[in-house]
Amino acid sequence: MKRESVRALLEQVRRGDVDPDQALESLSRLPFVDVEDARVDTHRALRHGLPEVVFAPGKAPDQIARIVRALRESDQDVLVTRVEAEVATRVEGELPGGEYSPVSRLLWYGPAEVATLGNGTIAVVSAGTSDLPVASEAAEVAGRFGNKVDALYDVGVAGIHRLLASSDVLRNARVVIAVAGMEGALPSVVGGLVDKPVIAVPTSIGYGAAFGGIAALLGMLTSCASNVTVVNIDNGFGAAYVATLINRL
Amino acid sequence: MKRESVRALLEQVRRGDVDPDQALESLSRLPFVDVEDARVDTHRALRHGLPEVVFAPGKAPDQIARIVRALRESDQDVLVTRVEAEVATRVEGELPGGEYSPVSRLLWYGPAEVATLGNGTIAVVSAGTSDLPVASEAAEVAGRFGNKVDALYDVGVAGIHRLLASSDVLRNARVVIAVAGMEGALPSVVGGLVDKPVIAVPTSIGYGAAFGGIAALLGMLTSCASNVTVVNIDNGFGAAYVATLINRL
Amino acid sequence: MKRESVRALLEQVRRGDVDPDQALESLSRLPFVDVEDARVDTHRALRHGLPEVVFAPGKAPDQIARIVRALRESDQDVLVTRVEAEVATRVEGELPGGEYSPVSRLLWYGPAEVATLGNGTIAVVSAGTSDLPVASEAAEVAGRFGNKVDALYDVGVAGIHRLLASSDVLRNARVVIAVAGMEGALPSVVGGLVDKPVIAVPTSIGYGAAFGGIAALLGMLTSCASNVTVVNIDNGFGAAYVATLINRL
Amino acid sequence: MKRESVRALLEQVRRGDVDPDQALESLSRLPFVDVEDARVDTHRALRHGLPEVVFAPGKAPDQIARIVRALRESDQDVLVTRVEAEVATRVEGELPGGEYSPVSRLLWYGPAEVATLGNGTIAVVSAGTSDLPVASEAAEVAGRFGNKVDALYDVGVAGIHRLLASSDVLRNARVVIAVAGMEGALPSVVGGLVDKPVIAVPTSIGYGAAFGGIAALLGMLTSCASNVTVVNIDNGFGAAYVATLINRL
Amino acid sequence: MKRESVRALLEQVRRGDVDPDQALESLSRLPFVDVEDARVDTHRALRHGLPEVVFAPGKAPDQIARIVRALRESDQDVLVTRVEAEVATRVEGELPGGEYSPVSRLLWYGPAEVATLGNGTIAVVSAGTSDLPVASEAAEVAGRFGNKVDALYDVGVAGIHRLLASSDVLRNARVVIAVAGMEGALPSVVGGLVDKPVIAVPTSIGYGAAFGGIAALLGMLTSCASNVTVVNIDNGFGAAYVATLINRL
Amino acid sequence: MKRESVRALLEQVRRGDVDPDQALESLSRLPFVDVEDARVDTHRALRHGLPEVVFAPGKAPDQIARIVRALRESDQDVLVTRVEAEVATRVEGELPGGEYSPVSRLLWYGPAEVATLGNGTIAVVSAGTSDLPVASEAAEVAGRFGNKVDALYDVGVAGIHRLLASSDVLRNARVVIAVAGMEGALPSVVGGLVDKPVIAVPTSIGYGAAFGGIAALLGMLTSCASNVTVVNIDNGFGAAYVATLINRL
Amino acid sequence: MKRESVRALLEQVRRGDVDPDQALESLSRLPFVDVEDARVDTHRALRHGLPEVVFAPGKAPDQIARIVRALRESDQDVLVTRVEAEVATRVEGELPGGEYSPVSRLLWYGPAEVATLGNGTIAVVSAGTSDLPVASEAAEVAGRFGNKVDALYDVGVAGIHRLLASSDVLRNARVVIAVAGMEGALPSVVGGLVDKPVIAVPTSIGYGAAFGGIAALLGMLTSCASNVTVVNIDNGFGAAYVATLINRL
Amino acid sequence: MKRESVRALLEQVRRGDVDPDQALESLSRLPFVDVEDARVDTHRALRHGLPEVVFAPGKAPDQIARIVRALRESDQDVLVTRVEAEVATRVEGELPGGEYSPVSRLLWYGPAEVATLGNGTIAVVSAGTSDLPVASEAAEVAGRFGNKVDALYDVGVAGIHRLLASSDVLRNARVVIAVAGMEGALPSVVGGLVDKPVIAVPTSIGYGAAFGGIAALLGMLTSCASNVTVVNIDNGFGAAYVATLINRL
């Protein structure tokens, strides 16, 4: 039932065509107005001037192209995440105009420059070179979402001085995204260096007892630093999304 | 906002005191009528003539007594689940009139006889004597919910002939609840003997590799019988609840 | 030993050709009549007018074709589940006349229309687009089994209003199948909206801490809604099978 | 070595009393100023006007009293977390003036009223009555840390309308803390209703497949809502801490 | 229906009092003769001259005493397993004549000497002093079941020479029970020293990564010795039971 | 040091060429005679007239061929296990004369008929058609090891009558191997039907909560039948090996 | 057979009283000299001048006292580990002269001062105050074993500067023991600061996703620092033992 | 900021060009000297005369070649670990002069002979032929790092005499690396035979309940031998690295 239908019903009540009790019955089941086919994420995204986001895994290249084209025709920017190189090539073959980043596996349809909307800087720090895909996903998503981003890669805790040498980057940030695989200790150290929210992203990097990111995930959840919250393994996008919300406060 | 308030608002619209657009604004956020403090389960329960259910663990005896008294004052029957014997004694000390079953750990405030509402019989079968608390919880809850119940205990699969000897009980049932700990094989065998829905309840009975019910749970989820669905470990109440819904169809 | 053999034996006893003690010996070991090579599931299926079901994984295309041909020659309808597209093509190459659905991965040999046998409607709701294969397996199996089916896809709990907007579908159903991956929260919300049995199907959709469906599975087993039972991860078929049994009550 | 000592050293260098090479040696090892015995958390807390926090488990009542007394003598407010009732009684016996909350298990030594420092409101929502200890820990900690707090308890997803009825609370918040045990679905639903950061707190409430909070934890980590981050099981304090940092941005 | 009833039925058929078709109907459902209430284990035990076995955990002392008395009145020997010392005292208080072994936690009602029935010797070896309760349960059960038993305790693999020094014990055995906690390596070493079946019993001894016996259990299941089979954690009784069956071949 | 060397040393002592203390030193370190390069398994195998066994996974076809050729040149029979079809083809290309079984994945170099050495029959029962590779590995290994084997496949517990119909096979066996995937309930039922040792083999068959055989493994370890021991997941070979040892007693 | 017996045998061979072949037979089975009842650890300990070690859990106070008395009568020093305070009191009641440390839970019977045997210093660092029992067990055991020990407690990674301020302690050590619970990140940071072996000890400190030390254990096993090895959860003793062996090289 | 810069700054202070307070500000943030872009591991490696190490997985062949070339141009030796054969071929195609070992998967760019730096011998023992890749990685890395290495392969505990026959190798070593998959029992036995540190390496060898190395890992962590420490699954490199550090003490 759409907003117009509700107004019509109310008009009927005013005109006496419908009994209040009948209307009550109709309305008591009505939890909202007019959502039907629209995606809630879309609505929220639009309100915030954020691009649409499409999660590529499990979708065929032509399916991705079709979705992106439809969104582009509605004048929306589109960010496709977790796009393997060969998929990107095929999507761009069907729909030119995209910008693909092979490290972050992001495919972007939108302006080269995005207006800055956040109030400060988001710092993205990562532990090892293998964590780069997840860290750069976080950094580039944050950038496409209109944030100033400072990236600081390869500052693992076994070489703690490198991290400390760049602590200005951390101190200048409004929110920090800390990405690490293996033992996932980076967010704890970072959390101790800053007084800002730290969003920890465990990665599936590592072998054996790393268990595809479980070691890092557990380490981050049990961090001795109180300012650390955690997102799912490899979820660089989610960290950037939350960091964006925080940065706009 | 209560049902009365909505009717009042609609009356105002009819009288022209309130503009339909204003009313629309008020109503568009209103997903339901009159829930505030009442428990949704209560509403559903009342519609079905089911008693109120209180889950005892984590509640102090006087807290349980207070809740039950309030419900009794509203003329509702009340079933308290997972009540340890000493807790039951203290609750009954504060609020006489209850009926306590030490095996099923159920404390009942209501009529000794409940009207039969289901269309058939619910069979409750269990594997070992240690599964009795869970099985009898399922059987007695089903009984208090107005079902005819046939109970068949201690028919574990290592003595398969005992189960087969009583297969009439299974065949006469409209829905079967199968309770088992350890390897949890009973629902698979039962599922092969009947053409009715089988609700499997893993119990935490067993030691070592039983892992507090995990072995039974996994066994039931991977049952080779297609008519088996599963509830949580030791959740005899939940099985009886779903069986009641099915038996009323 | 077939039913006929037993009757013959009893005739021999009546004629005095066989001693009661000898007959006792023969009969005391006889737990059933006429199963030999036939599959028990077949018998049950036939009694209910259900098609035969073949689980494809682990079977070669020519093996599947051989099984289906044998069943078709016995005038039975056959439903093959979990058939990958290339397998379907090869089976249909050997045995024309099948109907393949690439999303649900079902291959059907039987009439285009199946007589309706259930007493009401089965609602199939699912959370995300990635859950579609499992959800459509459930919906199509339910349809091939003679049920009226209402499907409601892509109504995940993070956009709760979409689900609420379609709550009529839920309320009209006799039994609901709720399919969800990731956190698997859909059955809890659905369970709170209806007073019917809800069969929850966790899917292996998700990454990281989804652990191939474990997160969803645990979420559904510990649902705060009492009318939820659970089947194995990705087991759309099993959910449809049980829903069919319930719908025929 | 304290800040004053460093300045003294530099003065010595200026006066020529100390050779630059010697000073270099002393300083090159000095990564920070004045930490020696003080707890880093203390420093951070003091800079932000936050009270000192003492984690009670594993500490004897007299040990707690000693720590608190020492801190009080330094004119600091002290918040002791996870204090069981009998422990609180004994601590207060040794050190009067505390304020104990038996539900949140917090023991507070400080002013009855704390000045508001955050820029908005923190909403704390929880699913069931059993989650109350964790939810109220979050809410009271946030209050003691100077935030305005809106609490909304017992709004589990199986009764979704209750949550929707109070969605104003959610929409007015700058950051939301969502607390849930069992299947932990609440943060996903809440995350879909607001455009603010949601900090999810899994609780150890539940039995069987809840596995002491693992089911809720996994559910929250794999939430389909992108604005959800997660803290450790039962970590109401940590959620309030991060929410405070966000609310001060 | 008992064996006598079946014979009676067959007599009726012979006399023509009952129609073969009717008798067929009665018999076709009859999978066995005479089990009704009797415990299958009892029957099996009696056939083999084995004592009755009662598993004590979860049973109250008076309940145990009642069961044992009933069995004793049927002239059966009874072995109660996993009996804590205070329980044994109370059972013996109600029913004198038992023999209690505090290490193996076995309570025996039967002759001091049991006739030897097995064809050879069962060796029981264990790794550490903490494994003694499980190892002695195995050894004493095997003894009560009529086997000659050779016990060899405290021969852990970190002191391999002690085990090798007693390899005659192993070589003289017909079947070996190897009991170990912690890393559970003993059965692998023993399996390499003998050409007989080795029944491995993991114990819950150990801390940390021993995970209550999981480390030992996994180690035994993945043993590089091909002659090792495994029973549940701490299941000394089960190992003795199977060893008895093997020793009687 | 070989047996001959020890004798030589002792001769030297007798002749006085070597001092007893020196000899003592040499001998005290000598735990065995003459093993150097020979595989212990080989020795054991030879003593029992068993063929050599080669585990194929991880070995290249030419490596397998080389090992088999060397063993054949020593006049030994060789059984290669877990050989994929293409590997078998390549091994047989390099070394003709083998006999390959594609279901059990065994490659046999030895006489077509093996002399019977065991004292009775080994029964191999399995639950589903998918368990056939493991079950037939067990059955064929047992056959190649000189045992009479009775195989009974596709007798899963959901169709319990099929198993009961063939209970003669079970009762005639000296030892039973029970193979099952999914919930792994077969050994419990079989264990209740026979008074012989039952060796349970969990298989990795199943999906979702079967967890690659964990559900079946746990179910078998916690079996309510006391005569069940367990080997590793899919370890048909190990079951046959132990059954052979038992059958020769 | 003891060393003397072997010499006697060899003398008999020299004298010609025993035939070399007979002696060969006797000796070929003899893997060692003189272990019978003695504990191998004792022998090793004695050779190194280490005290005897008794692990208290699972032993009654009088049992501990008896063991210690026997060892003291052999002039050996004894270190009892994991002794709870009340147990220590009772042991000392029976056997005066012990020195009990309530934090490390060590009970020592030996000289107040132990001669220094190691070549350098063992550093023991720990993360939080709750890790103190395990850290001080490691430090005190190392001390009783004759090592110089430098302890550095409460230097968790969330306050990284405290650790860096004391890096001299780390650099001066020959081997470092790093003790940490929760996320267990300390060994990684320490490992990056020193070029010496680091023995990591996970503790069971923490709650929720710490899973009794699993989070710390996994973190340490997957450390990005290559010089880290790991012992069992809470195994401060084992770390000290290995550190002692290293320090004596 | 480099050491020279700090000296320059201090000179400026001495000359009065810079104010002590300003210098204090500059210095208080300076935790280290001269690390900027250099890898800490490199520095450490160089100090010890160790080669650079590159971990190949996740790096493309040309990327590996580029890194190695850059390091070679700085006159450093380079060891690339975990290099698959085809990758090695491609790297050597781009950068000749490497030495590839297909079993250990090591690619070496450096002198054929490395100067011996350690004080003793490192023994590497392994359990089965399948453990060879990990064991030879450990042995060859230790060799390239300048240690004398004694390797002893295929000495699994099920054939304990083979290990005992070579115990001289163990006794002569200064540190032992013990590599084993499946039940991982080898380090416990080895630990009992030597008085030196034993570094245990679990391998991912095995199937079923081996769980990719978990069984071996848990077994090693819970070893009853006190001189065992553990590294990550398959981490032969890490074991060799720590053994090298110990051997240089």
pLDDT band at E1 (very low <50, low <70, confident <90, very high): very low
In whole numbers, what is the pLDDT of chain G averaged over residues? 86
Closest residue to A165, CB basis, from H35, H58, H234: H35
The residue assigned the tokens 């009356």 is: B11
CA G44, G49, G51: angle at the middle one, nearest 5? 80
Closest residue to C233, CB basis, from F167, F205, F209: F209
Does the structure show a pLDDT above 70 at G37?
no
pLDDT band at H6 (very low <50, low <70, confident <90, very high): low
pLDDT digits (tens, 9 = 90+) for A118-169: 899 999 999 988 999 999 999 999 999 999 999 999 898 988 888 998 889 9
Q: How far apart are CA E186 and CA E164, in angstroms?
A: 12
Average pLDDT over residues B11-22: 76
Q: How far apart are CA B63 and CA B221, in angstroms?
A: 37
pLDDT band at F129 (very low <50, low <70, confident <90, very high): confident
pLDDT of residue G48: 59
Q: How far apart are CA G91 and CA E239, in angstroms?
A: 37
CA H34 and chain centroid, separation: 25
Mutate one of B48, B229, B233 to test the C interface: name it (highest C CB count within 10 A).
Answer: B229
Average pLDDT over residues F90-114: 95
Q: How far apart are CA F118 and CA A117, in angstroms?
A: 82
Does the structure show a pLDDT above 60 at B64?
yes
pLDDT of residue A74: 77
Average pLDDT over residues A54-83: 91
Taking any CB pair shorter than 8 Å as contact, residues of chain A touching chain C are 29, 31-32, 35-36, 39-41, 57-58, 202, 204, 212-213, 217, 232-235
pLDDT of residue E34: 28
Closest residue to B13, CB basis, from A13, A28, A33: A13
Closest residue to G160, CB basis, from A192, A217, A221: A192
pLDDT of residue G5: 56
CA G168, G170, G174: angle at the middle one, nearest 5? 120
Q: How far apart are CA D142 and CA D126, in angstroms?
A: 15
**CB of A126 closer than 8 Å to CB of A202:** no
In whole numbers, what is the pLDDT of chain C averaged over residues? 86
Does the structure show a pLDDT above 70 at D3?
no
pLDDT digits (tens, 9 = 90+) for B159-171: 888 899 888 999 9
Dihedral sign from CA coordinates of G37, G39, G43, G49: negative
pLDDT of residue H146: 95
**CB of C45 closer than 8 Å to CB of E52:** no
Query: Of G193, G195, G174, G185, which Cα lies nearest the Cα of G242?
Result: G174
Does the structure show a pLDDT above 80 at B203?
yes
Q: Do D204 and G208 touch (CB under 8 A)?
A: yes
**CB of C51 closer than 8 Å to CB of E41:** no
pLDDT of residue D93: 96
pLDDT digits (tens, 9 = 90+) for D208-242: 999 999 999 999 999 999 999 999 999 999 999 99
- What is the value of pTM for the model shown? 0.86
Average pLDDT over residues C27-45: 37
pLDDT: which is higher, F14 or F116: F116
pLDDT of residue B30: 41
Does the structure show a pLDDT above 90 at G11?
no
Q: Do H165 and F36 touch (CB under 8 A)?
A: yes
Does the structure show a pLDDT above 70 at D31?
no
Does the structure show a pLDDT above 90 at D2?
no
In whole numbers, what is the pLDDT of chain H averaged over residues? 86
- Using an 8 Å CB-CB cutoff, list chain D residues near C157: 157, 185, 188-189, 192, 224
pLDDT of residue F33: 28
Q: How far apart are CA E189 and CA E205, in angstroms?
A: 19
Closest-CA distance, B136 to chain D, in angstroms, reads: 18
Average pLDDT over residues H69-74: 86
pLDDT of residue C143: 96
- Using an 8 Å CB-CB cutoff, list chain F residues near H205: 58
Query: Of C12, C9, F155, C18, which Cα lies nearest the Cα of E27?
Result: C9
Q: How far apart are CA F224 and CA D78, in angstroms?
A: 55
**Chain G residue whose CA is closest to A162:** G192
Three-class DSSP labels, H57-113: CCCCHHHHHHHHHHHHHCCCCEEEECCCHHHHHHHHHHCCCCEEECCCCEEEECCCC
- Using an 8 Å CB-CB cutoff, list chain F residues near E237: 226
Residue B47: count other Cβ atoms within 10 Å of its Cβ. 9
**Chain C residue whose CA is closest to B243:** C197
pLDDT of residue H227: 96
Task: Determine whether D15 is exposed, middle or buried from the number of CB atoms within 10 Å of its CB (0-12, 13-18, 19+).
Answer: exposed
Q: Do F130 and C36 touch (CB under 8 A)?
A: no
Q: Do D23 and H32 touch (CB under 8 A)?
A: no
pLDDT of residue A42: 41
**Residue G195 is encoded by which pair of tokens?**
């070029």
Closest residue to B192, CB basis, from F159, F182, F211: F159
The reply to whether ipTM tops 0.90 is no
pLDDT digits (tens, 9 = 90+) for D187-205: 999 999 999 999 999 999 9
**Phi and psi torsions of C66, nearest 5°:** -65, -45
**Residue D49 is encoded by which pair of tokens?**
């006007």
Percent of chain H with pLDDT over 70: 85
Q: Do D6 and H21 touch (CB under 8 A)?
A: no
Q: Do E226 and F249 touch (CB under 8 A)?
A: no
Q: How far apart are CA C133 and CA C152, in angstroms?
A: 13
Host H or E run for residue F180: strand F175-180
pLDDT of residue A33: 28
Does the structure show a pLDDT above 90 at F204?
yes
Strand partners, F158: none
pLDDT: which is higher, D30 or C131: C131
Assign H232 to helix, strand or coil: coil
Does the structure show a pLDDT above 60 at B38?
no
Residue G97: count other Cβ atoms within 10 Å of its Cβ. 10
pLDDT band at D48 (very low <50, low <70, confident <90, very high): low
pLDDT of residue F34: 29
pLDDT digits (tens, 9 = 90+) for F37-57: 233 344 444 455 688 899 999
Chains touching chain C at 3 or more Cβ pairs under 8 angstroms? A, B, D, E, F
**Sheet-wide strand order for B106-109:** B52-55, B78-81, B106-109, B99-101
**Residue E171 is encoded by which pair of tokens?**
């070589």
- Using an 8 Å CB-CB cutoff, list chain H residues near G174: 249
Q: How far apart are CA C187 and CA C189, in angstroms?
A: 5
Q: Which residues contact E128 (CB under 8 A, 6 or more apart)?
A: E154, E156, E180, E181, E182, E205, H224
pLDDT of residue A199: 98
**Chain B residue whose CA is closest to F221:** B209
Average pLDDT over residues B11-33: 62
Average pLDDT over residues A54-65: 91
pLDDT digits (tens, 9 = 90+) for E142-155: 999 999 999 999 89
Percent of chain B with pLDDT over 90: 66
Q: Do A20 and B3 touch (CB under 8 A)?
A: no
Closest residue to E161, CB basis, from G35, G57, G235: G35
Q: Which of D166-170, E139-143, F37-41, H74-78 has the highest mean pLDDT?
A: E139-143
pLDDT: which is higher, G47 or E195: E195
pLDDT band at C16 (very low <50, low <70, confident <90, very high): confident
